[in-house]
A and B are shown apart, each in its own frame.
Chain A
Amino acid sequence: MIESLSDLAMPITAGILLGGLYAVVALGFSLVFGVMKLINVAHGDFVILGSYLAFAALTGIDLDPFLSLVFILPLVLVIGFLVQKYLLNRAMAISADAPVIICLGFSLMLANMFQMIWSPLSRGLTTSYSLTSYNIGGLAIQLIYLLDLIIALAVMLALREFLRRTYLGKAIVAASQDRTAAEMMGINTNKMYAYAFAIAMACAALAGVLVGLTFPFSPTSGVPFLIIAFGVVILGGLGSMVGTLIGGIVFGLAQTLGGFYFGVAAQMFVAYVMVLVILGIRPQGIFGR
């Protein structure tokens, strides 16, 4: 047991760093769910959309994935805005299930589209720094993993400040707490929802770039990330940045340790079982209200 502790150092560190990535993956999902009570079952596929768009830029015009965000983010913001404004807002008025079903439709469309355009093969975003790793305290820590965590923290902070300090941010928060009262303040809640969804999509695309740099991905990678996002939100509770981060870390650790003990194939399975167990025990999350 004692000797395996030093072996564990590697997966534990990796798990914590991955936690940042998973937190960012969950961020957009959490925003949409928190603001509109909408479960975007296509969230994972939107993340992978970011990965594939960056892949296209990388292989097509040799553009670094982070730089390609300059083009990807505006595109995804607009798409997200339109989707919410014209499809999902309407669906929310039809029934509680309708938005979920529409998102399911999107999920299928996206996954199929990925397969059509880029084939079922696994892809990855390989750059000059993909394999760079640093020796910190005797552990080999990959640059990508560090970047994941740093960027994750930055994005989460930025989003939190946006929601807290700007009129638009406050309006979105108000709309999420009491839609009727928000309208009474002169807030066009439908538009707020559209903004929130757009921002969520942008977060997803960013997460996708990070994902693509960190893991191989394929057309069916969407659902696993959806489930991780869901698990992180459930565990960390809505509206809590710290909670989301901790949720991400828990899932990151579950994966790396699961892989350590049970083999690579078990990683996703461990994560799924965890989600179901958490759902069974405490659906509102550890930090949730």
Chain B
Amino acid sequence: MSEESLLKVNHVDVFYGSLQVLWDVSLTVRAGEIVALIGSNSSGKSTLLRTISGFLRPSNGNIEFKGKRIEAMNPYQIVALGISQVPEGRRIFPDMTVSDNLVIGSYNHGARSKREGNLKDVYMRFPILGLRRNQLAKTLSGGEQQMLAIGRGLMGEPKIMLLDEMSLGLAPLIVDELYRTLREIRERGITILFVEQNARRSLKEADRAYIIKSGRIVLSGRAAELREEDEIQKAYFGV
């Protein structure tokens, strides 16, 4: 291994009550990578992300971030370590303005001093947000809300960003735009782990990928290699 792993999920089992939803899941993300987690609707991909974020606790296995064990931490503590979230459904604060949404993204103490600089960056990267900065977030379109969610995630000066179903419900042009943004973010040195249903698109954008099905990782490897695999067609049915 030439690079240190930034985020490591080690053999994790997760239950909802008495129902098991993740089986022996392992995943590694190295600094500077773009990693995709690909799966269909009830594959467990969002559950895995939720576990990494601290909303669920694994009953077996552990999760490490920069060598530190985080599986038992509260979500707000995990964020403070440098893990930023762009959640499923965006979850922007509907009755707060665009600018307030961004500002609250810099809530963590480390990020507060860099707030003004980061705000400028976000408005440069997403001019439409700058235009709408005093509007209530709920008045934004789906694509704009996604940009806001990503911008908000950036405000926290993260080391790694977790994006859950970023392209859901958005037009292809906007999705292209967002992926371009991800690449720029990676240029800035921020690692990315994103979760998607669309295998084809995801494999184009990612360095490495994991395929999850029914709560298990069934395939993993370099995106370029996976693209060739017939297994993809078999392992990943549906959409």
Contact = CB atoms under 8 A, between A and B. Distances in A.
A–B contact via C-beta, under 8 angstroms: yes
Interface of A: 167, 170-171, 173-174, 177-178, 180-189, 239
A186 B76 CA distance: 4
Given A186-B107, A186-B108, A186-B156, A177 B93 contact: yes
Which 8 A-B pairs give the minimum distances between C-beta atoms? A186-B79, A181-B91, A183-B75, A184-B85, A186-B108, A177-B93, A188-B76, A186-B76
A183 B94 CA distance: 16
A185 B105 contact: yes
B96 interface: yes
B76 A180 contact: no
Q: Looking at chain B, what size class is its interface with the partner chain?
A: 20 to 34
A184 B93 contact: no
Interface in B65-103: 74-76, 79-80, 85, 87, 91-96, 100, 103
Contacts of A178: 91, 93-94
A186 B158 CA distance: 11
Given A167-B103, A170-B103, A186-B108, 16 more contacts: A167-B112, A170-B96, A170-B104, A178-B91, A178-B94, A180-B75, A181-B91, A181-B92, A182-B93, A183-B54, A183-B74, A183-B79, A185-B79, A185-B107, A186-B79, A187-B104
Contact of A177 (B75, B76, B94, B103): B94
Interface of B: 53-55, 74-76, 79-80, 85, 87, 91-96, 100, 103-105, 107-108, 112, 152, 156
A185 B104 contact: yes
A180 B90 CA distance: 11
The CB with the most chain B CB atoms within 10 A, among A167, A181, A187, is that of A181
19 contacts: A167-B112, A170-B96, A170-B104, A170-B107, A171-B104, A173-B93, A174-B96, A177-B94, A177-B96, A180-B87, A181-B92, A181-B93, A183-B76, A183-B79, A184-B53, A184-B91, A185-B104, A186-B108, A187-B104
A181 B96 contact: no
Nearest to A189: B76
Contacts of B152: 185
Contacts of A186: 76, 79-80, 107-108, 156
B96 to A, nearest CB: 6
B107 A167 contact: yes
A37 to B, nearest CB: 15
A210 B108 CA distance: 38
Contacts of B87: 180-181, 184
Given A180-B91, A181-B87, A187 B96 contact: no
B75 A184 contact: yes
Given A170-B103, A174-B104, A180-B55, A188 B93 contact: no
B81 to A, nearest CB: 9
A239 B95 CA distance: 11
Contacts of B76: 183, 185-189
